[in-house]
Amino acid sequence: MDSPTPADARIGIIGAGPGGLTCARILQRHGIAVTVYDRDPDQTSRNQGGSLDLHEEDGQLALREAGLLEEFFALARFEGQEMRQLDPAGGVIAHHVPDEGETARPEIDRGQLRDLLLRSLAPGTVQWGRALESVSGPAGGPRTLTFTDGPAAEADLVIGADGAFSRVRTAVSPATPHYTGVTFLEARFDDMDTAHPELSELVGKGSAHAADGERGLFAQRNSGGHLRVYIMRRVPVDWIAATGLRPEDTEGIRAQLLGEYAGWSPETLRMITDNDGPYVDRPILALPVPHTWEHSPGVTLLGDAAHLMPPLGVGVNLAMLDASELALSLVRSATVDDAVRGYEKTMLPRSADVARMLEGGAEFLLAVPGPDEDGHGPGPGPGPGRP
């Protein structure tokens, strides 16, 4: 089967995260039809996670191509660029305060970014409640999308934007995510300025990071007076069960953590002891480095589906850059196959280079900062890709 022109192709994007929605938005801006399939029942059915910093050279670049940069700036928290490096006693080692008008990497809640992108799409673009089961069909296409519920669909191009445990990935690669040895245990805090004033003062308006070489804490402001703390440790992936605890045993887990963080100051331990609600266990996963595949007509990947890495501030930015480059390649190419080849020729070596740089990077978050740290280094985003 000859590859169709992008204007005539049936394009299906799996996953309504920032990457998939950015790709859909840019395609629609250029008159190319697209359908997005997402497993969530609707756009409000699940909390989207924490805060994201979008960089000028990739995430913001993609939003500019999407025609949404000014709307993003209206929602973004520029004060969220503040970053404090603390010691376990709560002392400030380094402190980055953003300059007035600084726009290098402002913060936005993941849910706010998703809503911005969803509002920009034509009605009916996203089909909710469509959990992909498999991609099948001949290499020359069309591909058949089978869902756990509802009718199958055909596509001339399937774009896997479905995260760490991508079902689309299996159509081009046998690779699966592996545990890096580091886990983030997420703790949530509400009504920070009133209910947690001491912690609010310690963290500041953006983020704060502390580590002792074996364990760390990363606190990150979200909008609406919320804060998320990631309690970072080198532990077995089944550490909760191995210690005789259950995920819902908040008090038991807290006692375990206080033992592990013995010697840290009461000020920093507020990030462990004062949370509102249960902890959420988030083991950090990554794909093999480098992760690549032989070109397969009619199927490609972007974001975590293509290059899952430790959460060091690059994941969503790379996903949105992938999305922009893929969409623009489709706009500018004579056929779908030409577009995908052009996109992969750039994306695969770039993602391999970044993945090599960040390989083992979860350990970086546990390391004691050196004397040259400026407090503005990379930090964890909203946690690993959704299961």
Q: Give the helix, strand, coil percentages of the chain, each rounded to 5.
A: 35, 20, 45
Kindly tell me the burial class for residue 13, based on how many C-beta atoms sit within 10 Å of its own C-beta (0-12, 13-18, 19 or more): buried
- pLDDT score recorded for residue 311: 87
- pLDDT score recorded for residue 48: 74
Q: Which two tokens stand for residue 312?
A: 């060091």
Note the CATH architecture for domain 6-81+102-176+287-359. Answer: 3-Layer(bba) Sandwich (3.50)
- pLDDT score recorded for residue 139: 84
Residue burial 289-304, b: 16+ Cβ < 10 Å; e: rest:
bebbbeebbbbbbbbb
- pLDDT score recorded for residue 44: 85
- pLDDT score recorded for residue 1: 66
C-alpha distances in Å from residue 362, one per residue of 21, 48, 329, 354: 28, 22, 33, 14
Secondary structure (DSSP) of 331-354: HH-SSHHHHHHHHHHHHHHHHHHH
How many angstroms separate the CA atoms of 290 and 357, rounded?
Answer: 11
Q: Please, what is the end-to-end C-alpha distance for the chain in angstroms?
A: 35
* CA dihedral over 217, 358, 112, 385, signed as positive or negative: negative
Domain ranges of the chain: 6-81+102-176+287-359
Specify the DSSP element, H or E, that contains 208: strand 207-211
- pLDDT score recorded for residue 370: 63
- pLDDT score recorded for residue 75: 97
Mean pLDDT, contiguous 10-residue spans, the chain (387 residues)? 92 98 98 98 83 96 98 97 96 95 95 97 98 94 95 98 97 96 96 96 96 96 95 96 96 97 96 96 95 95 96 92 98 98 97 92 80 46 37
Q: For residues 195 and 224, is the Cβ–Cβ distance under 8 A?
A: no
- pLDDT score recorded for residue 49: 79
